[in-house]
Amino acid sequence: MSFVEGQRKPRLGVFKFASCDGCQLSVLNLEDELLLLGAALDIAYFPEASSRMEPGPYDLALVEGSITTEEDEHRIKAVREQAKVLMTIGACATAGGIQALRNWADIGSYKQCVYPRPDFIRTLATSTSIADHVKVDYELRGCPIDKDQLLRVVTDLLAGVRPRIPADSVCLECKRRGNVCVVVAKGMPCLGPVTSGGCGAICPSMGRDCYGCFGPAEGMAKGVGYPPNTASLAKQFHDRLGLIPIDVVRRFRGINGAAASFRRESEAWAVKRTNSEGS
C-alpha cells in the first residue's frame, strides 16, 4: 500500500475518546524509539504529548477510546474524514472497553446512583467500538496495547507493506515461552485458548489465568478467519472446572466483554443461568 505520496513526512494524529489514556501512554513509553518515530513522522496532533495541535488531513490517525456520547459520534466521523489510514488502539476502541459492561445494565439507574445531578449527564446507553461507527483500517488490541506491536505496525506502514498483526491465541505464546498450562496443571479458567496473542502470555507466565485483555482470537486476518470456539471452552469451565453459569458469564464479560465472540458466549450462559434459577 502507498502510505504517503511524495517526499514529505507522513502526518500523524492521535485522538482520545472514552478511555483511561493507557494506550496513549504506551505510545509515549516507546522512549528512545519515540524519537525515531518522531523523525519518521510529522506528529501533527497528539494532545497527550504536545500542545501542538494542527488540523488534518492526517496520513495516519491512532484512535483510543470508545464511543459513549453523541458528541463522540460526530467527532469520530470527522476524524475518519481527515484520516487516510485509521487505526484503533486498545480494548476501548476495538470492543467498547470495560465501560461496555453498562450495555447489559440500565444506564438511567447508574446515573441516579452515582451522580447528585443525573440530569446534567449527557451519555449514550451503550459504549461501543470505533468500528461500530466508521470504517477502521487496522485494530491493535490490548489493555493496554503492546508498544512493540504498535512500533512494528507503524514501521510496516512506513515501509509500504501490509502490517503484521498477531491472530493466533495466547496458547501459542505460552508454548513459545515453555509455560505449563494453568488449565491442566492448576484447574484455572484461563481464556488463553480463545484470546488473541500479542501480550507475550504475561499472566500465564506469572502462574495466573488469562482474562482476555487482547480480545477474541480470530485465527486469521479479521474477516477471513474463523471465530474462536468459546462454546467449547465455556463448557469445559462448567463441566470440568465446576464454574456455575454466572461465573462463566463473568469470565467472558470483562475488558473485552462486548467483542462479538465473547458477548455471544456470555449472553448464552446468562440465559442458562436464568433457566437454572427458574427450574
Q: What is the pLDDT along the chain (279 residues), one digit of tens a residue?
A: 456 566 789 999 999 999 999 999 999 999 889 888 889 999 999 999 989 899 999 999 999 999 999 999 999 999 999 999 999 999 999 999 999 999 999 999 989 999 999 999 999 999 999 999 999 999 999 999 999 999 999 999 999 999 988 788 999 999 999 999 999 999 999 999 999 999 999 999 999 999 999 999 976 444 555 789 999 999 999 999 999 999 999 999 999 999 999 999 999 999 988 877 765
Distance, CA of 88 to CA of 29 (rounded, Å): 18
Number of neighbouring beta carbons within 10 Å of residue 173:
24
Q: End-to-end CA distance of the chain: give it in Å, rounded.
A: 58
Residue 12 bridge partners (DSSP) = 43, 60
- The residue length of the chain stands at 279
Distance of CA 14 to the CA centre of its chain: 16
DSSP state of 53: B
Coil, helix or strand at residue 111: helix
pLDDT at 169: 93
pLDDT at 38: 87
Distance, CA of 96 to CA of 103 (rounded, Å): 9
Q: Identify the CATH class of 11-159.
A: alpha beta
Per the CB < 8 A criterion, the answer to whether 208 and 182 are in contact is yes
Domain range summary for the chain, segments of one domain joined by +: 11-159, 170-278
pLDDT at 196: 94
pLDDT at 87: 98
**What stretches of the chain show up as alpha helix (H) in DSSP?**
22-28, 32-40, 70-82, 91-95, 107-114, 147-159, 170-177, 182-186, 202-205, 230-239, 245-252, 260-278
DSSP state of 64: E
pLDDT at 279: 57
pLDDT at 220: 47
User: What global pTM score does this model have?
Assistant: 0.91
Number of neighbouring beta carbons within 10 Å of residue 131:
16
Per the CB < 8 A criterion, the answer to whether 201 and 170 are in contact is yes
pLDDT at 27: 93
**Residue 31 exposure: Cα atoms within 13 Å on the Cβ side:** 2
pLDDT at 1: 44
